[in-house]
């Protein structure tokens, strides 16, 4: 049951107060694993925080079977980096303040479902049976950097049906916070529904054009998107990669 994946990245206009968007897609023995995230900050500290989280994901994604441990490893790496910053070794207190990161990890195994853990990130969208719906986590969790608000049982992985013909969209908030001259936010679910019959490449290009048209080509934040189609067919490994 192969999957087809694509991605898109749009940089904000020069001079915008942008944060550090991050994303990656990796084929592992557990299936395709993905991360998408966004640092709530700007400048070099935000870039550093994004690099720390992405590096931690790449370090652990191939050998840790528990998706919760994958995302916990990313949070631990960010906390360690913050401790170094507070100690004055790198960046001082300002670097710590830029360490607030939303992130979502997802896993698509060779079965008709997929799994996610969401740390305060915009909700993924699932197009299934002609309907687009946001995927709410069972237990909402805060972003990395404010773990003191996590209490109760360990972090659990949410699982959702993912059948042939379904489409999954992960994205950063630069998409849904894009505004037009009337200060109206971009309606991503509506755009996804309008392009439900588009091929993967046509959808990504259509989304790019719609975003730039809505924002008059003046994006205030970076945009990162990962699109996954669950396809009919033979085989045991998802194929393709970000395009």
What is the DSSP secondary structure assignment for residue 179, as one 8-state letter?
Answer: B
| pLDDT reported for residue 46 | 82
Q: Is residue 236 pLDDT above 80, yes or no?
A: no
Q: Give residue-wise pLDDT tens across range 23-52.
A: 999 999 999 999 999 988 777 788 888 899
Average pLDDT over residues 105-118: 95
Return d(Cα 99, Cα 51) in angstroms, integer: 11
Residue 240's pLDDT is 45
Distance separating alpha carbons of residues 121 and 161, to the nearest angstrom: 20
Q: Name 3's Cβ contacts closer than 8 Å, sequence gap at least 6.
A: 32, 108, 228, 229, 230, 231, 238, 239, 240
Give how far the C-alpha of residue 92 lies from the chain's centroid of Cα atoms, to the nearest Å.
Answer: 28
Reported as a pLDDT band with limits 50, 70 and 90, residue 93 is: very low
Closest of 202, 196, 134 to residue 171, by C-alpha: 134
Please tell me the predicted confidence (pLDDT) of residue 14.
Answer: 62
pLDDT in tens, 189-229: 999 999 999 999 999 999 999 999 999 988 888 899 999 99
Residue 119 · residue 143 · CB < 8 Å = yes
Q: Quote the strand ranges of 73-124, DSSP E.
A: 101-108, 113-119
Q: DSSP secondary-structure letter at 147?
A: G
- 82 forms beta bridges with none
Scanning the structure block, which residue is given the tokens 């490893």? 73
pLDDT of residue 44: 78
Q: Where are the domains of the chain?
A: 3-230
Rg, Å, the chain Cα set: 18
pTM of the model: 0.87
Domain boundaries 3-230, corresponding CATH code: 3.60.40.10
- Under a CB-based contact definition with an 8 Å cutoff, are residues 237 and 27 in contact? yes
Q: Can you give the length of the chain in residues?
A: 243
What is the spatial distance between Cα 85 and Cα 94, in angstroms, rounded to a whole number?
8
pLDDT at 150: 61
Confidence at 186, pLDDT banded by 50, 70, 90: very high
């Amino acid at each position: 049951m192969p999957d087809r994946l694509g991605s898109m990245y749009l940089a904000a206009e020069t001079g915008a107060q942008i944060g550090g968007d991050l994303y990656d897609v990796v084929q592992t023995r557990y299936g395709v694993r993905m991360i998408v995230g966004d640092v709530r900050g700007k400048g070099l500290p935000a870039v550093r925080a994004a690099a720390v989280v992405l590096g931690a994901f790449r370090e652990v994604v191939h050998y840790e079977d528990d998706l919760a441990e994958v995302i916990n490893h990313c949070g631990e790496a960010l906390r360690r980096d913050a401790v170094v910053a507070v100690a004055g070794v790198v960046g001082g207190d300002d670097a710590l303040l830029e360490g607030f990161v939303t992130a979502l990890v997802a896993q698509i195994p060779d079965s008709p479902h997929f799994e996610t853990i969401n740390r305060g990130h915009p909700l993924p969208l699932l197009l299934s049976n002609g309907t687009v719906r946001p995927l709410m986590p069972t237990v909402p969790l805060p972003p990395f950097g404010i773990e003191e608000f996590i209490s109760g049982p360990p972090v659990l992985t949410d699982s959702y049906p993912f059948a042939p013909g379904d489409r999954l969209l992960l994205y950063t908030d630069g998409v849904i916070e894009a505004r037009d001259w009337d200060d109206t936010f971009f309606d991503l679910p509506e755009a996804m529904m309008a392009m439900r019959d588009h091929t993967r490449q046509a959808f990504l290009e259509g989304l790019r054009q719609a975003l730039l048209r809505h924002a008059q080509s003046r994006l205030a934040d970076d945009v990162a998107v990962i699109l996954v189609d669950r396809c009919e067919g033979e085989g045991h490994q998802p194929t393709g990669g970000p395009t």
